[in-house]
Structure 1
Amino acid sequence: MKKILLLLSISVFLCGCKSKSVTNTKVDNKTERVIKGNWSITAVNYPSSEYIKVNSFDIADSKCFVGSTWKFISNNNKGSMALTNASCLTFTSDITWFINKEGQFVMKVLSAGEKAKRVRDGYVLNVANVTETSFQLVDKINVGGKMTEVIYQFQKN
């Protein structure tokens, strides 16, 4: 009987001490539903864009993202992106994404056949000016010790 009580108390202790995953954040389902569908980036803007180059999402120069197509599926937080700018490298990838309650867009770019849980690195951008036909993703980068905003303007297809 003592062994059973000891095992029971240990199992209760272990269950009560599980830590929560960092990715276990609450999502903003309302905003996710608004941006579901097919979108294109119509502009990428940031101060001094004529002097500095920004490597967006560790993929390509930010200007290569103008004209890119994005698909967001809100019920399973999957999607895809494709760079189609003729003067840039062609790139296509699946993505996983969600919008947390703080208004941040959290995204992972997946290589072919790769599962999201195996990808450790991702990107966190702020979501701004959401309407039925447009929205912005705002990234903050360090340029010469000063935080600068890079704004990706999305338009619904």
Structure 2
Amino acid sequence: MKKIASILIVFCLFSCGASKSGSELPGKRALKGTWEVTNISFIGAEGIYKAFLFDAADSACFKGSEWVFIPNNASGRFTTNVSNSSCSIVNYRIIWSFFESDNVKSFQFKYADERNRPQSKDKSGYRATINELAKTNMTITVPSTFEGKSFNVVMKFNKKSDNLNL
């Protein structure tokens, strides 16, 4: 009888453990699909901001950009928007992942070649803080500087579809 009671107590301890906190990152599948950057804003001291994001293009060119995330191999791409004459089309393949440290949730990526191998020899990449991630929307904050002043670029994404066309 004591053995059965011990087994039941151990079972209860493991099955009634603390539930996962809401602060944990959702799985990669939350990003599956095609997304569009619908808004870009700046946070920092008052002034005029100029941001060249991800060593690819001016921040204005990212509004309306299309991002594709494929969770099963953590690959994807983004293509900038050409809604104004100062932007040219930029199309990059990426390898992406989530990162969490000290309760800060991040989205990170590196540029990749057609075989999904990192292009950078020094293994460098880009990281942005995830402010919100849901089934149909995501908001990230990208740290930036202009003329020696630090500020943040906030990018809001909306999911367009579950399509995964690279």
The alignment's TM-score, normalised by the length of structure 2, stands at: 0.68
Selected match of 1:38 from 23, 34, 41: 34
State the shift of 1:125 in Å.
0.7
State the shift of 1:85 in Å.
2.0
Answer yes or no: is the 8 Å Cα contact 1:66–1:85 preserved in 2.
Answer: no
Q: Bigger shift: 140-149 or 73-82?
A: 140-149
Which amino acid is 2:144 matched to? I
Q: 1:58 to 1:49 in 2, by over 3 A?
A: farther
Consecutive unaligned residues of structure 2, counting only runs of 5 or more, are: 1-23, 161-166
The equivalent residue for 1:150 is: 153
Work out the CA distance in 2 between the residues paired with 1:113 and 1:33.
21
The equivalent residue for 1:83 is: 80
State the shift of 1:147 in Å.
3.5
Consecutive unaligned residues of structure 1, counting only runs of 5 or more, are: 1-27
Selected match of 2:118 from 116, 123, 133: 116
The equivalent residue for 2:12 is: none
Work out the CA distance in 2 between the residues paired with 1:76 and 1:52.
35
Relative to its length, the structure with more helix (as a share) is 1
The equivalent residue for 1:55 is: 52
State the shift of 1:109 in Å.
1.9
Coordinate RMSD, CA, aligned: 2.5
The alignment's TM-score, normalised by the length of structure 1, stands at: 0.72
Q: 1:126 to 1:29 in 2, by over 3 A?
A: closer
Q: Secondary structure at the match of 1:135?
A: strand
- The Cα offsets for residues 110-137 of structure 1, whole Å up to 9 and x where unpaired, read as 3566721754221011111111110111
Answer yes or no: is the 8 Å Cα contact 2:51–2:146 preserved in 1.
Answer: no
Aligned-residue sequence identity (percent) comes to: 26
Moved over 4 A (4+): 111-114, 143-146
State the shift of 1:142 in Å.
3.4
The equivalent residue for 1:137 is: 140
The equivalent residue for 2:4 is: none
Selected match of 2:128 from 107, 125, 128: 125
